[in-house]
Amino acid sequence: MIAGMSVTDARKATFDFSDSYYTANTILGVKESSTIASYEDLKGKTVGVKNGTASQTFLTENQSKYGYQIKTFADGSSMYDSLNTGSIDAVMDDEPVLKYSISQGQKLKTPIAGTPIGETAFAVKKGSNPELIEMFNNGLANLKASGEYQQILDKYLSNGTSQATTSTVDETTIWGLLQNNYKQLLSGLGITLALALLSFAIAIVIGIIFGMFSVSPYKSLRLISEIFVDVIRGIPLMILAAFIFWGIPNFIESITGQQSPINDFVAGTIALSLNAAAYIAEIVRGGIQAVPVGQMEASRSLGISYGKTMRKIILPQATKLMLPNFVNQFVIALKDTTIVSAIGLVELFQTGKIIIARNYQSFKMYAILAIFYLVIITLLTRLAKRLEKRIR
């Protein structure tokens, strides 16, 4: 991991760290119009901070001294947006990150000098890869010896301005955002569509099986279906995805001692498939039960088997009743792909968040994402309605 990770005694119990490559400061940021000029001015104010950071530790340790409230955020872009909209009064972040945001157009200022919060280093799981730590240390030493390390610091951190640019396109406009990021957005869109289509296809199979179980004459099959539906519908999708992606590998490692990571796309597909399958099972059950029960009774009285009656008489009628609900469920599944971005899968929504983290153009970027989803869902819905008319 190389993501501004501060070296602490608690983390040393879990990770092996390289030599420090940066001494971090935490610094307070406020809007340019703010009158806050010292920590004492924060009394009764709300300060935003990213969860799990050294900045959060600093704020927590000094909260009783200065009398402010703390609001935590999962990412920097939402924290800075909250400051701009006035829902918080100040933010505390790593000094280079905050100064970079200012260089990207955030109308902020830093009224208080930064406070040292420790060393930042490269981390690997404890005992897992000492060779990689050694390679990193050697590379860092070479950078420092050649002077390139200082050049990097000067380039990105000198006077809080970033001289590094990946494009000359103005990203303060919607057209500029699209022009500079269309490849990333199209890649994220492709992953979103693949995730939605694959997971829904799997969900259809699983959902039909459990839906058939729910109307089976056998009590054991009905019980299995009921348990499946209740358990999956009772677990929020984000928790289900996190359990599959992080929980199961951790559990396997605790038993076997071997790491068994799950690919993020696979974990997302499994989570979405199970979640949609539970609802599809109920759609199937409802569709079958909507067919007049007398048709099943009449067929069985003529000596036709249960299975054949289902295939030839009940299901053809039930399918027509279920189809609109299948369309709705697919739209829901497509929108649910945004939730699995929580496990790090870079689909369309996560791609947008990454772009926002770089340029802080949240309003324009979220508007672009909303239009993407609106167009896709509208087109798919219209296509599904045409198919529905043909089937009927």
Q: Which amino acid is at 340?
A: V
Digit-coded pLDDT (tens) for 350-382:
999 888 877 778 888 999 999 999 998 888 888
Instruction: Identify the residue with better confidence: 110 or 316.
Output: 110
Q: Quick one: 87 exposed, middle or buried, by C-beta within 10 A (0-12, 13-18, 19+)?
A: exposed
Please tell me what DSSP assigns to residue 230.
Answer: H
What is the pLDDT of the chain when averaged over all its residues?
A: 86
Residue 24 near residue 119, CB atoms below 8 Å = yes
Mean of the pLDDT values across residues 111-115?
A: 88
Domains and CATH numbers, the chain: 2-157 (3.40.190.10), 174-390 (1.10.3720.10)
Instruction: Count Cα neighbours of 62 within 13 Å in the Cβ-side half-sphere.
Output: 14
Digit-coded pLDDT (tens) for 136-154:
999 999 999 999 988 887 7
User: What pLDDT was estimated at residue 161?
Assistant: 45
On whether the pTM is more than 0.85, the answer is no
Point out the least confidently predicted range of 8-17, 242-251, 330-339.
8-17
Please tell me what DSSP assigns to residue 304.
Answer: -
User: What pLDDT was estimated at residue 291?
Assistant: 83
